[in-house]
Amino acid sequence: MGESVLKTIVVYTFVLLLALALSTVFIVIPAYVHHIESHVPGGFDSLYLSKYSPYNTIVVEVDYQPGMEPDPKAIAALQEKIELYSQKHVVMHVNQDIGYDEVPILISGNELFTTTTRLQQAHRDYPTGWLGGNITLYIMYLDTVWQPDNSEYASNMPAYQYRTTSMIYSVGVTYAADSIIIFKDALTQENTETTILLHELGHVWGLDHSNKPDDVMNSEFNVYNSVPLNHEPDFNQFPTNYSAEDKLRLAQLHESPNILPFF
């Protein structure tokens, strides 16, 4: 009699634990990925990088407007860095998907949010899976100018910018946990594209800005862009590497079992 009661308790405990595990995998993680943190740059850092992440393939979808085709060298460098730090299988899809007339010539402040929502609904082919499988990174190359303002949304976006006498130009922005824009027309030198792309990837992985001249997370575009009088800039010197501290952080994220912040 005592033995069968014990058996019943063991069975019920097992079923309860199984239900908890299943609800974590099938409800908590998908809910987190799709709603709670999806709008926060860096929110998916360990889902991309941790070896304990339920996602085992990273799909990178790049959609561009006519004339804004990404530099294959920059795309190859992006893929290499993602493979290096995530140790996951990376699949690239690059498409000229977005039409000339789908994007306004100037986007200001919060309009970035409505514009990107509309463009993602129309063109994004690879959303992140609900139950593991693939996590995706969505990159748009747009022929427009974004001028952030002081609104809370715009000022919280980690944008990479430079300033002329009349305007602020954004060259890249990470506007969600899994989404980047490259404003290709604002890149004054071809060699900066790899730097900007890897910089925004750093934001996706939760890295902050630095002021080190050889760090790809340096946010002072003028370091690369402004040319002192009588000096030719050395355009081979754009940084394409993270700092030693950031590399350590990325390696720690790869080992971290904390794939969700509330665990």
Q: How many helices (H) and strands (E) does the chain have?
A: 9, 8
Of the ranges 1-9, 13-21, 154-162, 241-249, which one interacts with Zn ion (CB under 5 A)? 154-162
Question: What is the distance between the alpha carbons of residues 159 and 156, in angstroms, rounded to a whole number?
Answer: 9
Crossing angle of helices 72-86 and 192-204, rounded to 10°: 30
For position 238 contacting Zn ion by CB under 5 A, the verdict is no
CB of 217 to Zn ion, least distance (A): 7
CB of 9 to Zn ion, least distance (A): 55
Q: Would you state the structure tokens that stand for residue 127, as one six-digit string?
A: 């959303």
Closer residue to Zn ion, CB minimum distance, 33 or 180: 180
DSSP structure class, residue 150: S
Coil, strand or helix at 68 = coil
User: How many residues interact with Zn ion (rule CB under 5 A)?
Assistant: 3
Closer residue to Zn ion, CB minimum distance, 61 or 200: 200
Task: Check if the beta carbon of residue 109 is closer than 8 Å to that of residue 148.
Answer: yes
Radius of gyration, CA atoms only, the chain: 21
Closer residue to Zn ion, CB minimum distance, 53 or 195: 195
Question: What is the distance between the alpha carbons of residues 248 and 242, in angstroms, rounded to a whole number?
Answer: 10
CB of 222 to Zn ion, least distance (A): 14
Nearest residue to 55 (alpha-carbon basis) of 124, 129, 127:
129
Closer residue to Zn ion, CB minimum distance, 43 or 158: 158
DSSP assignment of 196-224 equals HHHHHHHHHTTPPPB--TT-TTB--HHHH
x-marked contacts with Zn ion along 206-235 as a string, rule CB under 5 A? -------------x----------------
- Contacts of Zn ion in 156-185 (CB under 5 A): 158, 160
Question: What is the distance between the alpha carbons of residues 167 and 151, in angstroms, rounded to a whole number?
Answer: 17
CB of 199 to Zn ion, least distance (A): 6
Closer residue to Zn ion, CB minimum distance, 119 or 204: 204
Task: Check if the beta carbon of residue 126 is closer than 8 Å to that of residue 59.
Answer: yes
Of the ranges 50-58, 118-126, 153-161, 188-196, which one interacts with Zn ion (CB under 5 A)? 153-161
The residue sitting closest to Zn ion, measured at its beta carbon, is 158
CB of 22 to Zn ion, least distance (A): 39
Q: Which residues bind Zn ion (CB under 5 A)?
A: 158, 160, 219
